[in-house]
């Protein structure tokens, strides 16, 4: 029974959602079936502890249908009826989240009932609310279009021969909605096509882009259109000037977008910076850091429970360290620790603090921190092992390094969940670190020429091989070259 769709949906419910569905199922307006009420009452009682014991078919038959012949088909039918009621509940809950759409439907019903006086009162109030609406995103233009379309239906329904602008407003808002949505989706299509190697048909996009370009002054008054037009140009062009042109437009119009949409918008800029960084344009590391600060200030990086993602936390710390923003980074690690989800605080805080201390050269503190936590998340485990590897190298802990390279290599070869490209990169890190350490350890025992040959061979192989923490490896090779040049 645990695989039943009804129970699986209940397992995703919060306590509040389960209580509300229980009330929904016991409302005679929505449900009059006593068997469904009994089933919902029982499942609400055992929530969230759904297990094979309390969800056993025989037990449920006895509890829910005690006075009837206990046929499996009767219980299956109750589950089917309850699942239908659940679908109605989910639809109702989703519907309640969009108050503007409620008003469109209310106007439609009042028009059909020919309640014209009430209709115009609701319509005028709705128009004032839309005019004062803070957000001017794609959803705003969709509602504006639906409202104008309803007003046009109202005009036609009353058959009054008087001047009316609703059909013009309908067309204007349709244009705005279509163009805003087209530009927004086109940005996403470009990103997905590059990731998944898919060619999408863009339809009328080229004509629309040209129209916006030629009428930029006009469209600049529309926040959604101008923002996504600038983002589209940035994504399509290699020239960094499009990035610097687009970012101020977003920052100046950010208040017109909801937080989820603004988070997506900033994501385009963040990904653009990552691509540039990967191509060696280091100045975009600073841009990425600025973007993170901006998003923190706007509270865009928090999830639905107001927690900061541990991966955003880690990425921000990494960027801060690479930019040598040490005071800011330490304060961020400590100040945002308690903004993390409780179940990840210890791992995330400990690892990132260890990264900070490594960058400060306080290797003893790194070791103290890393041995304190057993990382269950594969990504943290890999990052912690690689940090430990670099720490042992810098401390010249020969036995510890040899032991770690052996156990790390075994971990990589046995773990089937690690993506192949990352596994290769990590394996190369272990291999190259070990070889660099051997060269470093033998400097006093072999000739300078032999060490130089070994180092040159290592450097050549590193240049043609994908690895992790390449900057660190390059630095260690440079340090060895300096010592050999003395």
- Which structural domain, as residue segments, surrounds residue 45? 5-96
Which residues of the chain fall short of a pLDDT of 70? 67-72, 159-163, 486
Last residue of a domain, one of 96, 122, 140: 96
Listing DSSP states for 263-293 in one string gives HHHHHHHHHHHHHHHHTT-THHHHHHHHHHH
Q: Which residue has tokens 């971990």?
A: 411
pLDDT tens digit sequence for 88-117: 999 999 988 888 999 999 999 999 999 999
Last residue of a domain, one of 96, 126, 152: 96
Residue 61 belongs to some domain of the structure: yes
88, 93, 285, 400, 425 from 438: Cα distances, Å: 68, 64, 33, 14, 20
Identify each DSSP E strand in 200-332 by its residue range.
none
Residue 38 belongs to some domain of the structure: yes
Q: What is the DSSP letter of 418?
A: S
4, 98, 238, 272, 280 from 275: Cα distances, Å: 44, 37, 10, 5, 9
Residue 479 belongs to some domain of the structure: yes
pLDDT tens digit sequence for 297-355: 999 999 888 899 999 999 999 999 999 999 999 999 999 999 999 989 998 999 999 99
pTM of the model: 0.79
Residue 53 belongs to some domain of the structure: yes
Last residue of a domain, one of 78, 96, 114: 96
Residue 382 belongs to some domain of the structure: yes
Residue 427 belongs to some domain of the structure: yes
Listing DSSP states for 130-173 in one string gives HHT-S--SHHHHHHHHHHHHHHHHHHHHHT--S---HHHHHHHH
- Burial of 112: CB neighbours in 10 Å, binned 0-12, 13-18, 19+: exposed
**Number of domains comprising the chain:** 2
Q: Please give the Cα distance from 260 to 301 (Å, whole number).
A: 9
Q: Bridge partners of 302?
A: 308
Residue 368 belongs to some domain of the structure: no
Residue 202 belongs to some domain of the structure: no
Helix axes 345-359, 363-370, angle to 10 degrees: 160
């Amino acid at each position: 029974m645990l695989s039943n769709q009804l129970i699986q949906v209940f397992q995703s419910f919060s306590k509040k959602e389960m209580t509300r569905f229980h009330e929904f199922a016991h409302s005679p307006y929505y449900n009059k079936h006593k068997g469904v009420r009994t089933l919902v009452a029982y499942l609400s009682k055992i929530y969230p502890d759904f297990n094979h014991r309390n969800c056993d078919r025989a037990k449920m038959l006895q509890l829910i249908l005690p006075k009837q012949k206990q046929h499996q088909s009767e219980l299956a039918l109750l589950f089917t009826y309850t699942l239908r009621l659940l679908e109605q509940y989910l639809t109702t809950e989703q519907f309640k989240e969009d108050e503007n759409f409620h008003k469109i439907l209310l106007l439609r019903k009042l028009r059909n009932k020919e309640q014209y006086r009430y209709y115009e009162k609701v319509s005028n109030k709705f128009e004032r609310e839309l005019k004062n609406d803070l957000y001017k995103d794609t959803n705003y233009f969709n509602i504006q279009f639906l409202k104008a379309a309803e007003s046009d239906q109202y005009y036609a329904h009353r058959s009054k021969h008087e001047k009316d602008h609703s059909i013009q407003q309908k067309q204007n808002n349709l244009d705005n909605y279509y163009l805003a949505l087209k530009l927004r989706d086109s940005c996403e299509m470009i990103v997905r096509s590059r990731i998944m190697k898919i060619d999408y048909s863009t339809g009328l996009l080229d004509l629309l882009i040209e129209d916006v370009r030629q009428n930029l002054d006009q469209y600049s008054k529309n926040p959604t259109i101008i923002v996504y037009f600038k983002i589209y140009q940035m994504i399509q062009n290699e020239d960094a000037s499009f990035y610097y042109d687009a970012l101020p437009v977003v920052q100046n119009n950010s208040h017109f977008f909801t937080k989820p949409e603004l988070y997506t918008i900033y994501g385009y800029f963040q990904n653009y910076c990552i691509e540039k960084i990967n191509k060696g344009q280091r100045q975009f590391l600073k841009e990425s850091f600025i973007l993170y600060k901006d998003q923190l200030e706007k509270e865009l990086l928090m999830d639905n429970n107001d927690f900061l993602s541990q991966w955003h936390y880690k990425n921000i710390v990494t960027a801060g360290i690479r930019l040598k923003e040490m005071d800011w980074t330490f304060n961020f690690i400590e100040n945002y620790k308690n903004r993390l989800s409780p179940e990840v605080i210890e791992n995330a805080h400990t690892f990132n603090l260890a990264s900070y201390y490594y960058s400060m050269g306080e290797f003893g503190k790194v070791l103290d921190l890393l041995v304190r936590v057993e990382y269950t998340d594969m990504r943290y485990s890999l990052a912690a092992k690689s940090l430990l590897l670099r720490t042992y190298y810098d401390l010249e802990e020969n036995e510890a390094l040899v032991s770690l390279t052996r156990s790390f290599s075994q971990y990589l070869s046995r773990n089937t969940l690690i993506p192949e490209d990352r596994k290769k990169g990590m394996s190369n890190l272990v291999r190259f670190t070990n070889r660099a350490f051997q060269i470093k350890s033998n400097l006093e025992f072999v000739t300078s020429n032999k060490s130089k040959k070994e180092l040159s061979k290592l450097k050549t192989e590193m240049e043609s091989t994908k690895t992790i923490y390449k900057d660190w490896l390059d630095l260690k090779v440079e340090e060895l070259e300096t010592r050999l040049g003395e």
